[in-house]
Each structure stands twice: as structure tokens, then as C-alpha cells.
């Protein structure tokens, strides 16, 4: 008869390596498109002529803001196309300002 083989103990497994947590990703902020690049010298624009809207007396003391904000696009033929961005709060005043800008 053969003697039983001694039981071999298994070595303790090595502890799992500790992997450091990766830092949270930094959000990517998309920069706005700067638009077309100017070529050559530039200068501030100046109006060739200033035309003020005619405001009747009954509208001068109304309940509205004293300003409007507009965007003016110039078409291929050089004609201005004003677009109202911020209203004065009075449709008649807004209309008169846009008409003056079209001139």
C-alpha cells in the first residue's frame, strides 16, 4: 500500500492590484465660430447720412422704451434690410424706426 500523498496547500493568491480611478473627463467647450476673416485694413463704420424717425407728439410721451435694437443686412444691390431685434414696446414706433433705416 502506498502512503497517502501529503496535501499541498495552495499559496495565497496575490492581492489584486489597486488601479487608481481615472479623473473625470474635462468637458470640451466649443468656441463660437469667429465668422469670416477680414482681409486688408479695416475701420469702424460711420453713417453716411443720419435719418431720424419722425415721432408725432402723441407718441413721444407714451409708455415704451426709448430704444430699439436692430440688425441691418445689406443685400447684393447695396440696399439695407433692417430686422427688429428688440422692440420699443410700441408697434408704431418700431415701424417708424425701421422705415427710417430703410432710407
Domain boundaries, the chain: 57-102
Predicted confidence at residue 85, as pLDDT, reads 92
Residue 43 has pLDDT above 80, yes or no: no
Alpha-carbon separation of residue 79 from 11, 36, 93 (angstroms): 89, 21, 22
Which has more pLDDT, 65 or 11? 65
pLDDT in tens, 3-34: 667 666 666 677 778 888 877 787 788 888 77
Calculate mean pLDDT across residues 66-84. Answer: 86
Predicted confidence at residue 6, as pLDDT, reads 65
Burial state string for 24-62 with b = 16 or more CB within 10 A and e = fewer than 16? eeeeeeeeeeeeeeeeeeeeeeeeeeeeebeeeeeeeee
Residue 2 has pLDDT above 70, yes or no: no
Percent of the chain clearing pLDDT 70 (strictly above): 87
Amino acid at each position: 500500500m502506498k502512503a497517502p500523498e501529503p496535501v499541498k496547500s495552495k499559496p495565497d493568491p496575490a492581492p489584486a492590484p489597486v488601479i487608481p480611478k481615472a479623473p473625470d473627463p474635462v468637458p470640451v467647450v466649443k468656441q463660437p465660430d469667429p465668422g469670416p476673416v477680414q482681409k486688408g485694413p479695416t475701420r469702424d463704420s460711420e453713417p453716411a447720412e443720419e435719418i431720424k424717425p419722425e415721432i408725432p407728439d402723441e407718441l413721444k410721451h407714451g409708455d415704451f422704451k426709448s430704444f430699439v435694437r436692430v440688425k441691418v443686412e445689406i443685400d447684393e444691390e447695396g440696399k439695407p434690410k433692417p430686422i427688429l431685434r428688440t422692440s420699443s414696446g410700441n408697434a408704431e414706433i418700431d415701424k417708424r424706426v425701421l422705415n427710417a433705416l430703410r432710407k
